[in-house]
Structure 1
């Protein structure tokens, strides 16, 4: 488990040294820093120019060294699972400051006042920007951190979107295990933060719903930030490597792979999930029973089929679904899963000719029945929140959902952006409210002072 009482160490993020130069920042923010730096060198004073601060003496204000308060908040309705705060803090610590005349970077992070929530915090948003819960507040000389705004918004927006999508998917699945499969849909350099966002979302879901779900990722990089490891079984290419023979594929997988790796058969290679499943089951159980009967439980465990995975393409209708067909019969659908569950549970009945009336064969039948009933169904292929909700509504016997691209997506109806606004300025050692129209200083009781 990730210890949420501690921030992730800065080294985890491998922060690019160019961050402090403004290389990754919107240029208008770099321009702001340049202008303010130039004014500071000139000892520029605001003088008698008109300001929004009525009844405040601003004539001696040195704008180049002005201290501002900036608040960062998410605009996703109705809530967000916040992730990216630890990285944002690391970037502030590494990148706050300026380059002196000799080109040396002078770090001024220690002069900031920073408040932040913890990764995994949930913040709600009702659509009113005057009623927000900031996840990060920064007070300090603006020209020293202006160049970081773009980067800070990005490291908050991306993982928060992923985490909130994962959390919503877990809610839709009513707490069933979720396999995190979006690695192939994003640049590989994003895997670390994506996997971490998934982990935090699972932890948040467990906390909110009193569950103990594990976080499953498919690549080692996805688990790199928190010590997780990628897991997986077989691909269609694996079966092709065995010339389309799925049962033999699984037999060799079971023989060679460590027993800790779940034996999950991919069963849609021939668009016959039920038929393929029964063939795999028959072959694996015979090997299982052979070892079981000898008392070799270690060997038997190699041939215990953990689950089957239908991954039928959205343009295909599985062989087990009879005509006339409807649009609901394509891909992995409720009808297919119900038929698959029934076939799995009753699979041992097809082996009746192997069960005679003696005690040993009666035991074999008992063992076979449980072996079959323990097999789980893991579904993949185009699953998102709406599809999962539909499956759960009709109590389709799915044990595990594998979800990919939908966990990365921006919902067209949802704004996943973060916004950063200046909401206060410091004049003569006193803070005054100052922001653009439609914004104001807001608070969040979960904000903590960061040392």
Structure 2
């Protein structure tokens, strides 16, 4: 039996084949009628600000998709926060990009949802190491998107090796329970020592310490097995066995400290959410976050035509006319009609990224630049954990 992966390839996306069928019907109808109006379309989640900021991501892929088409594109840059109004604007003849709407929204919606969730985690534990461990919860073809979006929001690293190849970053991680189980009960020391002998020196010696016995017991045994080469321990205790996880962590710290191992870092993982990070951040050094980041709900973006042949239009329930979105010096997010002048302390958030089909060279879509924008915006806007 010849089985293939269920993957939409790059050519299908760039050609517009990766679309909803009704866009094909629309294109056929408009060509039949000889109509191809000059339009302005805006991508929007909420019409008006509601006090819940979300983080922009996925823009790089949209720009790559729209490059070379006879259109102009403005966008809120990756890493910036938004709260109502358009996040992307396209000007051009409608048929030049009509079939791409499905992919445009998919690129933005999924990535922005993940970046927002990662920003929640970063906000919950601002001084802790945070790693993205959730690639196993999503289709492997989107792992690089997940990790890029998480990095934009300020996480410190990720686990997926192939994503690292694409992002030019090195994946991190040490050992799973499977390693300890392959050695067997009672042979945890042999597993830890074999790991220490086998892996490169630049890999942190972080021992997983909750496979077979009490966490404090395994942590102490790991400390003795590694000696001064142990950088930290990781607890990944399942929810059904935790009880009071904070109490367990403090007991582990106490046990290590009384035996002379008080400088060993403690990392925790396993189904953690922002409220868990807030509860534990003062007793642990770092967190591995899985599904909360990688399976975050996509932002519910829509693409709407707001101007046809220079006339303001809108479907029922949407706002007609070309709009501006801007940030004021106090961190406020505002929208208004584009032809209205902004106050002196306002910064327009929509930036030109494509002109006449050409990507503008002064825009940096890199991860580091986006992460810097995210840090600045979260500080300026007083970002709080998203309640949507």
TM-score by length of 1: 0.67
- From 156, 164, 172, give the equivalent of 1:215: 156
Partner of 2:312: 433
- From 176, 182, 187, give the equivalent of 2:134: 182
- From 197, 217, 232, give the equivalent of 2:173: 232
Q: Deviations over 1:149-205 (max 9, x none)?
A: 011000001111111100111101133111110111011001011111111111xxx
Q: How far apart in 2 are the matches of 1:269 and 1:183?
A: 22
| Runs of 5+ unmatched residues, structure 2 | 1-7, 326-347, 356-388
- From 2, 8, 25, give the equivalent of 1:31: 25
Partner of 1:380: 269
Secondary structure of the corresponding residue to residue 228 of structure 1: coil
- From 42, 50, 56, give the equivalent of 1:71: 42
Q: Deviations over 1:307-346 (max 9, x none)?
A: 11111111114xxxxxxxxxxx16xx11101111111222
Q: Deviations over 1:349-408 (max 9, x none)?
A: xxxxxxxxxxxxxxxxxxxxxxx232111001110112222334xx3x111011101113
C-alpha spacing 1:168/1:226, structure 2 compared with 1 (3 Å): same
Secondary structure of the corresponding residue to residue 175 of structure 1: coil
- From 398, 407, 418, give the equivalent of 2:301: 418
Partner of 2:198: 256
- From 341, 345, 349, give the equivalent of 1:446: 349
8 Å CA contact 2:114–2:296 kept in 1: the answer is: no
Structure of higher CA gyration radius: 1
TM-score by length of 2: 0.78
Are positions 1:345 and 2:257 aligned together? yes
Partner of 1:171: 123
C-alpha spacing 1:20/1:267, structure 2 compared with 1 (3 Å): closer
8 Å CA contact 2:150–2:293 kept in 1: the answer is: no
Partner of 1:315: 240
Secondary structure of the corresponding residue to residue 24 of structure 1: coil
Show structure 1 runs of 4+ deviating over 4 A.
Answer: none
Secondary structure of the corresponding residue to residue 240 of structure 2: coil
Q: How many residues align?
A: 319
Are positions 1:112 and 2:71 aligned together? yes
**Of the two structures, which has the highest relative contact order with CA contacts closer than 8 Å and spacing of 6 or more?**
2
Partner of 2:88: 136
Considering fraction of residues, name the structure with more strand.
2
- From 107, 130, 152, give the equivalent of 1:200: 152
Secondary structure of the corresponding residue to residue 25 of structure 1: coil
Secondary structure of the corresponding residue to residue 33 of structure 2: helix
Partner of 1:284: 226
Partner of 2:184: 243
Q: How far apart in 1 are the matches of 2:55 and 2:193?
A: 42
